Structure 1
Amino acid sequence: MKEKIYSLIEQSLEQATEKDLEVLEQLLKGYLEKREGNGTYIGRLFQLEREIEENECVVRMPITDLSNNSLNIVHGGVTATVLDSAMGSAAYTATPEGYATVTSNLNIHYIAPGTGDELTVKARVLHKGSKTIVVEGEALRADGKKVAHATGTFFLLKKK
């Protein structure tokens, strides 16, 4: 398996552009950070930085070539992933001991293109029920323009 990985890396480096090398560096750094026990693969690959308080979470993500689509704006799926991550973290702060949460519904309205240097997602708990938690989130560009607005429902699961 290692030989296969070495071969892929060699092929990647042969005709890589500067942008290709930056993306590869981000991927490899994210992988190593995850291996060191710092978060999840998704969180580390996209360099997500989290600030968590009771019923709230703020996640910041640098906008890079890895997060962009072919139009050079943040891919809608990446925006959805960061929204889900921030909203899930906010829901977790409202989760009773002995329970976990999973996303059961995510509704996103895309408003403006994700451009600039950074995407900031702010999430807050709207309702805490006995079986679900409802959360709201917004994704903002560095200039303050709203990129997307989302609501989500998170189902409470008893941990085993």
Structure 2
Amino acid sequence: MQKVGKVPNCFQTMQAEVIDYELSESLTIAFPVLDAYLNPNRSMQGGFIVAAFDNVFGPLSDMVSQKPTTTINLETSFQRPIFAGDQLKITARVCHRGRTAVHMAGEAYNQAGKLIATASTNYLILD
């Protein structure tokens, strides 16, 4: 994350842990499933899963573009719940980097390796 500059508060709040980074290709980050993220069914609320995806896509788009970026859209499909005490591991990949935007896709898995959600996004390159 130091390659991007200051680590955003939302990244720190979600206790993100960088697992792997392949230059200009992919970024993998793990997030603990904390009690604060749970819905009444004791599974991670969908909005927090989307926020976790955004916390992976954002740094990856900034590192790939070498400029600030902002989310244009973020589409997420949920496959199964993830529960308290588990870990959400997200890998995001760059599908295309153009002059003005970066298109990425990602998958989120639990510790058992089961698919939790998929997402795709476009980020606008600023400047």
**The structure with more helix, counted as a fraction of residues:** 1
- 2:77 partner amino acid: H
Runs of 4+ in 1 over 2 A off after TM superposition: 38-41
Give the whole-Å Cα distance in 2 for the aligned partners of 1:150 and 1:53: 19
Question: Once the 2 structures are TM-superposed, how far is the Cα of residue 53 of structure 1 from its aligned partner?
Answer: 2.9
Q: Which secondary structure state, in structure 2, belongs to the residue aligned with residue 119 of structure 1?
A: strand
The yes-or-no answer on 1:47 pairing with 2:15 is yes
Partner of 2:3: none
Give the whole-Å Cα distance in 1 for the aligned partners of 2:22 and 2:37: 26
TM-score by length of 2: 0.86
Is the 1:111–1:148 Cα contact (8 Å) retained in structure 2? Answer: yes
Partner of 2:29: 59
Partner of 2:74: 106
- After TM superposition, list the pairs within 5 Å mapping 1:140-159 onto structure 2: 140-158=109-127
- After TM superposition, list the pairs within 5 Å mapping 1:6-155 onto structure 2: 39-50=7-18, 51-54=20-23, 55-96=25-66, 99-115=67-83, 117-155=86-124
Q: Which secondary structure state, in structure 2, belongs to the residue aligned with residue 94 of structure 1?
A: helix
Question: Once the 2 structures are TM-superposed, how far is the Cα of residue 144 of structure 1 from its aligned partner?
Answer: 0.7
**The structure with more strand, counted as a fraction of residues:** 2
Greater relative CO (CA pairs within 8 A, separation 6+): 2
Change (3 A) 1:93 1:40: closer
CA RMSD of aligned residues (A): 1.5
Larger radius of gyration: 1
Is the 1:52–1:89 Cα contact (8 Å) retained in structure 2? Answer: no
TM-score by length of 1: 0.69
Q: How many residues align?
A: 119
Is the 2:106–2:119 Cα contact (8 Å) retained in structure 1? Answer: yes
- Gap regions ≥5 residues in structure 2: 1-5
- 1:125 partner amino acid: V
Question: Once the 2 structures are TM-superposed, how far is the Cα of residue 42 of structure 1 from its aligned partner?
Answer: 1.7
